[in-house]
Amino acid sequence: MTTNTTNTTNTTEAPGAPGATQTPAAAETRAATAAPGNTRPPHTADGGPQDDHAYVHGYSPAEAQRLGDQADTLAELLHAGTAYPPGSRVLEAGCGVGAQTVHLLASSPGAELTAADLSADSLDQARARVAAHAPGAKVTWHHGDLHELPFPEGSFDHLFVCFVLEHLADPSAALTALRRVLRPGGTITVIEGDHGSTFFHPDSTAARETVGHLVRLQADAGGDALLGRRLHPLLADAGFRDVAVRPLTVSVDGSRPALVEGFTRRTFVAMVESVRADALAAGLTTAAAFDRGIADLHRTAEQGGTFHYTFFKAVGINP
Amino acid sequence: MTTNTTNTTNTTEAPGAPGATQTPAAAETRAATAAPGNTRPPHTADGGPQDDHAYVHGYSPAEAQRLGDQADTLAELLHAGTAYPPGSRVLEAGCGVGAQTVHLLASSPGAELTAADLSADSLDQARARVAAHAPGAKVTWHHGDLHELPFPEGSFDHLFVCFVLEHLADPSAALTALRRVLRPGGTITVIEGDHGSTFFHPDSTAARETVGHLVRLQADAGGDALLGRRLHPLLADAGFRDVAVRPLTVSVDGSRPALVEGFTRRTFVAMVESVRADALAAGLTTAAAFDRGIADLHRTAEQGGTFHYTFFKAVGINP
């Protein structure tokens, strides 16, 4: 495995926002000036990092906005039940721009959090996001590859890995590398989506095909947009025990206008739309067919429409 | 709309099983001698009943066993939160052979339950099942079409409708007819699956196509195996208010051997297998292709496999 980045670690204390007090509830409310989202590059087939531009969702401001929307809309669903005791040593592996980091800090304000990412740019954005959303929070920032973390064995009590494995060419190797830095008896929590879990009303072949193009592009980039369904065997095979995986299904209909806007439109449809140019460049579809699929996805967010997607949250223990 | 059955109502008190005491927990354990399942015929395009042989899943002993397995394996998931007060008047519309009736009785032992079905044969089986699983339970049995119930307006405090709408040509008409017999302020609870919610690991095009044949056959029979996703608009359009739909996702992996056997193999795969002859007769596939799909579905129940399916539970109020 090769790496083209340098492992560097530093600790910063986020400055308090003048005149602002931050509560966990406030931290879960999407700020009007949402920081860019939780982006990270995928890995090549040999497990090494690629250039940032290969990240399947891109690094545009719209994509960053989308990831912020996703993290904040779903924070309660994804982070419920995840709270680490004061003083416990927690590693967020693949923190990206800190979209989940702020929610971790809100749920576990006394934990000693280390947040690691491959991208220096993303870490800079994560620092800014934490400063804005969780002023006073103390985070150790680490720049490096999660396959080659420089920490001694058993350095952490808990690992948190959210929307990371789906972008890796060899998630098993990543989990094995992560388990090395987890103490015996420590826990790992992994959250992933699964685009194959998507269904909606009105049903539409065009919309399903358009979602399929995103799955295909992510596979071409070395990832797996259908990884959620594999979490149990992945963690078990990597040596974790007592692996328990829970489905977290988001079901959106007219009774949930905040999810219609925050999840269906601004998270999911925006994510699919973001690969339009790549899907056309790859010859997967025509502009007309892609746009018909997007229009049909938008239809599911209108009167009488419904939209459904399942995330998975896995917890395992290092023997 | 036409009907070829007669509305008849009678009340029986199920005899106690000699020497046996029945607890709610015991009632939710699958009996070794499981009664046949929750079968019912679909409706034709004009809303009238068809001959029993048109029921998409068939009426074989294997299918009956499958429905019993399904009801008992899923009882906790589907019935959680559904308990009616003593003395409340509850109608189970489309009780079939009583697969859900016994669980209703376990959760709401003091309710005044009326169980209605179009099929006299199914009602006979439901009586026997209740006698075996809930001895002493008092049920009013009604033989008739749920589109033309003879009860006065507002006769019931609560309606319970499970795995019924998916087999009807016009579920909206059925819901409107049902709402007539519900008192103002009374509730309706509807549970449906959605075969389009199915996904699994290892993924398999052959398996997905085989599931698709079942969806197609159910549509050809006038039903909709993808109805779960439509529950919110269906109930809202039928005039219910405060409609809330919850997804109930069954996620099966190696940590849940009871679900691997009871749900993946004996409920879902068995259901798909049961339409093999019909799928071949309809020219939808070849024997080899169908069997490859079934083999791939079985693979999801083996070591390292996972299987996922979403039911929906809707509750609404009659204004």
Q: Given pLDDT bands bounded at 50, 70 and 90, which one contains residue A53?
A: very low
pLDDT in the model for residue A3: 33
Q: Is the distance from CB of B120 to CB of B49 less than 8 angstroms?
A: no
CB-CB under 8 Å, B201 with A196: no
CB-CB under 8 Å, A245 with B197: no
Beta strands A89-93 and A112-117 are parallel
> CA nearest A309 in B: which residue?
B197
Tally helices (H) and strands (E) across chain A.
11, 9
CA-to-CA distance for A266 and A63, rounded, in angstroms? Answer: 10
Provide the whole-model pTM: 0.83
Q: Given pLDDT bands bounded at 50, 70 and 90, which one contains residue A73?
A: confident
Per residue in A248-270, pLDDT (tens digit) is 999 999 999 999 999 999 999 99
Judging contacts by C-beta atoms under 8 Å, the chain B residues touching residue A255 are 232, 243-245
* Cross-chain CB nearest to B203 (options A226, A233, A249): A226
Q: Is the distance from CB of B42 to CB of B56 less than 8 angstroms?
A: yes
Quote the minimal CA–CA distance from B71 to chain A in Å. 21
Q: Is the distance from CB of A94 to CB of A161 less than 8 angstroms?
A: yes
Q: What is the CA radius of gyration of chain A?
A: 19
> CA nearest A253 in B: which residue?
B232
Judging contacts by C-beta atoms under 8 Å, the chain A residues touching residue B197 are 197, 199, 308
Residue B210: burial class (beta carbons within 10 Å; 0-12, 13-18, 19+): buried
Q: Is the distance from CB of A133 to CB of A159 less than 8 angstroms?
A: no
| The two three-digit tokens of residue A298, written as one number | 């938008």
> CA nearest B195 in A: which residue?
A199
Q: What is the CA radius of gyration of chain B?
A: 19
Mean pLDDT of chain A: 84
Q: Is the distance from CB of A149 to CB of A181 less than 8 angstroms?
A: yes
* Cross-chain CB nearest to B236 (options A226, A236, A254): A254
Q: Given pLDDT bands bounded at 50, 70 and 90, which one contains residue A66?
A: low
List, in sequence order, every residue forming a beta bridge with A187; answer none if it has no partner.
A158, A317
Query: Which residues of chain B have a Cβ shorter than 8 Å from any chain A Cβ?
Result: 194, 196-197, 199-201, 203, 226, 229-230, 232-233, 236-237, 243-247, 249, 251, 253-255, 304-306, 308, 310, 312
CB-CB under 8 Å, B251 with A251: no
- Going by the DSSP 8-state scheme, the letter that residue B272 receives in this structure is H
CB-CB under 8 Å, B247 with A308: yes
Q: Is the distance from CB of B260 to CB of B301 less than 8 angstroms?
A: yes
Burial track A177-206 (b if 16+ CB lie within 10 A, e otherwise): bbbebbeeebbbbbbbbbbbbbbbbeebeb
pLDDT in the model for residue B69: 64
pLDDT in the model for residue B72: 78
pLDDT in the model for residue A34: 26
Quote the minimal CA–CA distance from B216 to chain A in Å. 14
pLDDT in the model for residue A72: 78
CB-CB under 8 Å, A196 with B197: no
Three-point CA angle B100, B102, B105, nearest 5°: 110
CB-CB under 8 Å, B245 with A255: yes
| The two three-digit tokens of residue A118, written as one number | 């491959």
* Helix or strand (DSSP H, E) at A18: none
Residue A43 has pLDDT above 90, yes or no: no
ipTM rounded to 2 decimals: 0.82
Judging contacts by C-beta atoms under 8 Å, the chain B residues touching residue A252 are none
CA-to-CA distance for A130 and A201, rounded, in angstroms? Answer: 38
* Helix or strand (DSSP H, E) at B244: strand B241-252
Tell which residue, A314, A168, A146, A156, has the closest CA to residue A240.
A314
Q: Angle of helix A205-220 relative to helix A287-299, nearest 10 degrees?
A: 110
> CA nearest B250 in A: which residue?
A247
pLDDT in the model for residue A98: 95
Query: Which residues of chain A have a Cβ shorter than 8 Å from any chain B Cβ?
Result: 194, 196-197, 199-201, 203, 226, 229-230, 232-233, 236-237, 243-247, 249, 251, 253-255, 304-306, 308, 310, 312
DSSP string for residues in B89-107 = EEEEES-TTSTTHHHHHHH
Q: Is the distance from CB of B302 to CB of B244 less than 8 angstroms?
A: no
Tell which residue, B193, B123, B126, B119, has the closest CA to residue B163.
B193
Per residue in A79-117, pLDDT (tens digit) is 999 999 999 999 999 999 999 999 999 999 999 999 999
**What are the start-end ranges of the H helices in chain A?**
24-27, 61-79, 101-107, 120-133, 171-180, 205-220, 231-237, 257-259, 270-273, 276-281, 287-299
Average pLDDT per 10 consecutive residues for chain B, totaling 319 residues: 42 36 28 28 32 53 64 88 97 96 96 97 96 93 97 98 98 98 98 98 98 98 98 98 98 95 95 97 98 98 98 98
- CA distances for B1 relative to A199, B45, B94, B173, B176, angstroms: 33, 9, 18, 11, 14
Largest Cα–Cα distance in chain B?
55
Give the pLDDT mean for A24-49: 29
> CA nearest B227 in A: which residue?
A201
Quote the minimal CA–CA distance from B312 to chain A in Å. 9
Judging contacts by C-beta atoms under 8 Å, the chain B residues touching residue A196 are 199, 203
Quote the minimal CA–CA distance from A256 to chain B in Å. 9
CA-to-CA distance for A78 and B169, rounded, in angstroms? Answer: 38
CA-to-CA distance for A194 and A175, rounded, in angstroms? Answer: 18
| The two three-digit tokens of residue A295, written as one number | 């229009």
